């Protein structure tokens, strides 16, 4: 097993507080919510597990008091009542064979809300977000009370927001004053940097 | 099409900026050494990112030298010594530049582009010997793209796909160029993650370019996917109100691509230079996005281009 300190990115004699802080950061980074319906979900899960193990090891070696590592809830994504036909297609989507799922879906004649939803999920997994949003939106408006469609839509809309928050967290500033300051700084910098 | 991928200099440490510059200069010098002076003229920043990313998977730190060059004849600049990542970055940069020039020639009958492409041809022939598959894939996808453009394709994702696939292949193959010591399982992981990053970077670049070119495409009556995707009608709205109307949706897509690119980067087993790579992913690319959406022409204070200074 790899060095737990390295996995958590802390130094060898880090305090319990530092370990916990690093752990919390990493859990946020690899959180399953961030990778829902994402082709990278398995790799994120793997990382999270590694982080959990490292944290458990350090906590046991340290105070030995408790272990409350984050466990990712393996949830089945589809709880809805659904026709056997759609159920099949859902399984194919889950297995990752998107081409085949697309083919099967094209054979379905009745284009109801679920059809648009599944078609949107295939697009999403392919990385076709513009298409995915349009279709899932259609599904949600055809079946306004459906929790699954609504939450999938929210999830898609959220992934960009998560990125934006992270970039603010790293010092991204977008207001005019900041820009002017940056420009002034860069201009000044160019003067002493050039040639 | 190229040249969007830059760090946000204000948030870089000076040491990090030196390293970033050293990759850029490293590619330039390496291309010059291997293929002569002319191919250096198509230098672009995007492939400094690729080289930096590929090299970041290796634990050994880079050895920097200080060298003079034509563009900076007085002050010596940091240059990374040639390695696999630098050579690869230079080669794929030339492949893309060449096909882009050919494309310009075929599209607009630009003889300037034809002349430049002719100048690159001997170099491309040499690269082709080693990277036949990649050249083939680039050609096929660009042909598919030309078809979609000719048919005025209204589906954003469909028309973005060929370029995204090219970038995906470039990044994926990059995993093979480096990483001599990695076991098979880890190599597969790297390929998947690099492919994910390349794919979304490709989508981002294509869409950025499309949004930036709206005015030009309307004026010249040439294809732009956004005009068809969002039903532009010159009788009903001005160009600026069209830009305004579609801005949020375009932004959503651009930010989504950057989010996925960053997700891939977060999972990658990075051994060094993480600060620079995250700066590019979270700050540099985002700032470029906002600039293009706001209709600002980036003044490139961060990235003196060889062409401009000469």
- Chain B touched by A34 (CB under 8 Å): yes
Same fold, A4-62 and A84-168: no
End-to-end CA gap in chain A? 50
pLDDT of residue B276: 95
Question: How many angstroms separate the CA atoms of B294 and B227, rounded?
Answer: 18
pLDDT of residue B270: 92
pLDDT of residue B38: 84
pLDDT of residue A174: 58
- Chain A touched by B269 (CB under 8 Å): no
pLDDT of residue B301: 45
Verify whether the Cβ–Cβ distance A39 to B262 is below 8 Å.
no
The whole-angstrom distance between A16's CA and the closest CA on chain B is: 24
ipTM for the complex shown: 0.84
Domains of chain B by start residue, with CATH: 9-294 (1.10.600.10)
- Chain B touched by A165 (CB under 8 Å): no
Question: How many angstroms separate the CA atoms of A88 and A111, rounded?
Answer: 16
Q: Taking the domains of chain A in order of start, what are their residue ranges?
A: 4-62, 84-168
The whole-angstrom distance between A84's CA and the closest CA on chain B is: 30
The whole-angstrom distance between A10's CA and the closest CA on chain B is: 15
End-to-end CA gap in chain B? 21
Chain A residues near residue B196 by CB distance under 8 angstroms: 39-40
Verify whether the Cβ–Cβ distance A159 to B260 is below 8 Å.
yes
pLDDT of residue A81: 60
Upper half-sphere CA count for residue A133 (Cβ side, 13 Å): 17
Question: How many angstroms separate the CA atoms of B20 and B275, rounded?
Answer: 11
Residue whose pair of structure tokens reads 């995906």 in the numeric block: B168
A64: left (phi over 0), alpha (psi -120 to 50) or beta: left
Chain B residues near residue A174 by CB distance under 8 angstroms: 290
Chain A residues near residue B282 by CB distance under 8 angstroms: 163, 166-167, 170, 172
The contacts of residue B54 (CB under 8 Å, 6+ apart) are B84, B85, B88, B89, B174, B175, B177, B178, B194
Q: Which of helix, strand or coil describes residue A52?
A: helix
- Chain B touched by A51 (CB under 8 Å): no
Contact criterion met (CB below 8 Å) for A55 and A69: yes
**pLDDT, tens digit, for every residue of A152-187?**
999 888 888 889 988 888 878 755 445 554 555 444
pLDDT of residue A187: 46
pLDDT of residue B1: 45
The whole-angstrom distance between A126's CA and the closest CA on chain B is: 10
Verify whether the Cβ–Cβ distance A43 to B192 is below 8 Å.
yes
Contact criterion met (CB below 8 Å) for A133 and B252: yes
Question: How many angstroms separate the CA atoms of B24 and B19, rounded?
Answer: 9
Verify whether the Cβ–Cβ distance B157 to A128 is below 8 Å.
yes
A125, A130, A132, best to mutate vs chain B, most B CBs in 10 Å: A130
Task: Report the top-level CATH class of A84-168.
Answer: mainly alpha
CATH architecture, domain defined by A4-62: Orthogonal Bundle (1.10)
Question: If you average pLDDT over every residue of chain A, what do you get?
Answer: 81
Chain A residues near residue B229 by CB distance under 8 angstroms: 130
The whole-angstrom distance between A192's CA and the closest CA on chain B is: 11
Contact criterion met (CB below 8 Å) for B64 and B79: yes
Of B252, B259, B286, the CB nearest to A172: B286
Question: How many angstroms separate the CA atoms of A51 and A70, rounded?
Answer: 9
Chain A residues near residue B156 by CB distance under 8 angstroms: 130-131
- Chain B touched by A50 (CB under 8 Å): no
Query: Taking CA atoms, what residue in B is nearest to A156?
Result: B256
Chain A residues near residue B172 by CB distance under 8 angstroms: none
**Strand pairing class (B64-67; B77-80):** antiparallel
The whole-angstrom distance between B48's CA and the closest CA on chain A is: 20
Chain B residues near residue A186 by CB distance under 8 angstroms: 9-10, 301-302
Verify whether the Cβ–Cβ distance B10 to A182 is below 8 Å.
yes
Verify whether the Cβ–Cβ distance A30 to B8 is below 8 Å.
no
Map chain B to HEC letters: CCCCCCCCHHHCCHHHHHHHHHHHHHHHHHHHHHHCCHHHHHCCCHHHHHHHHHHCCCCCCCCEEEECCCCCCCCCEEEECCCHHHHHHHHHHHHHHHHHHHHHHHHHCCHHHHHHHHHHHHHHHHHHHHCHHHHHHHHHHHHHHHHHHHCCCCCHHHHHHHHHHHHHHHHHHHHHHCCCCCCHHHHHHHHHHHHHHHHHHHHHHHHHHHHHCHHHHHHHCCCCHHHHHCCCCCCCCCHHHHHHHHHHHHHHHHHHHHHHHHHHHHHCCCCCCHHHHHHHHHHHHHHHHHHHHCCCCCCCCCCCCHHHHC
- Chain B touched by A35 (CB under 8 Å): yes
Residues of chain A with pLDDT under 70: 1, 61-81, 174-195
State how far Cα B265 lies from the chain centre.
16
How many CB pairs below 8 Å do chains A and B form together? Answer: 101
- What angle, 0 to 180 degrees and rounded to 10, lies between the N-to-C axes of helices A98-107 and A113-126? 160
Number of CB atoms found within 10 A of residue A168's CB: 14
Residues of chain B with pLDDT under 50: 1, 301-310
Contact criterion met (CB below 8 Å) for A105 and A91: no
A175's tokens: 């207001």
Q: What are residue B65's DSSP bridge partners? A: B79
Chain B residues near residue A38 by CB distance under 8 angstroms: 260, 263
Eight-state DSSP code of residue A49: H
Question: How many angstroms separate the CA atoms of A122 and A105, rounded?
Answer: 10
pLDDT of residue B306: 40
pLDDT of residue A82: 73
| A98, A178, B4, B205, B305 from B288: Cα distances, Å | 33, 15, 7, 11, 16
């Amino acid at each position: 097993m790899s060095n737990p300190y390295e996995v958590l990115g802390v130094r060898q004699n880090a305090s319990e507080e530092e370990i916990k802080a690093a752990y919390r950061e990493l859990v946020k980074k690899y959180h399953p919510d961030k990778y829902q319906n994402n082709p990278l979900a398995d790799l994120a899960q793997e990382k999270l597990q590694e982080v959990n193990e490292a944290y458990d090891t350090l906590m046991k070696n340290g105070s030995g008091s408790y272990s409350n590592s984050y466990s990712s809830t393996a949830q089945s994504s589809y709880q809805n009542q659904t026709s056997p036909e759609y159920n099949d297609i859902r399984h194919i989507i889950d297995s990752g064979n998107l081409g085949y799922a697309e083919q099967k879906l094209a054979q379905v004649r009745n284009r109801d809300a679920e059809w648009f939803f599944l078609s949107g999920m295939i697009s999403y997994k392919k990385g076709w977000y513009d298409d995915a949003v349009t279709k899932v939106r259609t599904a949600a408006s055809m079946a306004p009370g459906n929790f699954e469609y609504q939450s999938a839509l929210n999830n898609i809309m959220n992934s960009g927001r998560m990125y934006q928050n992270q970039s603010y967290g790293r010092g991204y500033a977008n207001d005019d004053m900041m820009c002017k300051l940056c420009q002034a700084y860069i201009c000044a910098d160019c003067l002493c940097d050039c040639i | 099409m190229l040249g969007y991928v830059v760090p946000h200099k204000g948030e870089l440490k000076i040491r990090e900026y030196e390293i970033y510059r050293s990759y850029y200069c490293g590619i330039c010098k390496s291309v010059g050494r291997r293929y002569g002076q002319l191919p250096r003229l198509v230098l672009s920043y995007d492939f400094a990112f690729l080289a930096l990313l590929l090299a970041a998977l290796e634990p050994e730190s880079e050895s920097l030298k200080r060298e003079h060059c034509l563009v900076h004849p007085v002050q010596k600049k940091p240059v990374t010594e040639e390695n696999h990542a630098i050579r690869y970055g230079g080669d794929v940069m030339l492949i893309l530049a060449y096909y882009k020039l050919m494309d310009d020639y075929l599209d607009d009958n630009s003889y300037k582009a034809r002349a430049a492409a002719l100048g690159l041809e001997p170099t491309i022939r040499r690269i082709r010997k080693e990277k036949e598959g990649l050249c083939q894939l680039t050609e096929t996808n660009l042909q598919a793209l030309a078809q979609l453009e000719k048919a005025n394709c209204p589906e954003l994702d469909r028309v973005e796909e060929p370029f995204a696939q090219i970038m995906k292949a470039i990044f994926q193959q990059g995993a093979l160029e480096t990483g001599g010591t990695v076991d098979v399982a880890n190599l597969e992981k790297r390929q998947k993650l690099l492919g994910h990053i390349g794919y979304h970077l490709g989508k981002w670049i294509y869409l950025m370019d499309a949004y930036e070119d709206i005015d030009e495409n309307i004026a010249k009556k040439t294809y732009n996917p956004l005009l068809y995707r969002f039903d532009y009608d010159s009788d009903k709205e001005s160009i600026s109100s069209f830009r305004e109307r579609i801005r949020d949706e375009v932004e959503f897509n651009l930010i989504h691509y950057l989010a996925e690119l960053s997700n891939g980067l977060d999972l990658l087993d990075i051994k060094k230079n993480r600060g620079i790579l995250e700066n590019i992913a979270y700050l540099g690319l985002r700032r470029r996005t906002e600039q293009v959406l706001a209709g600002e022409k980036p003044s490139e204070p961060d990235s003196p281009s060889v062409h401009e200074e000469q």
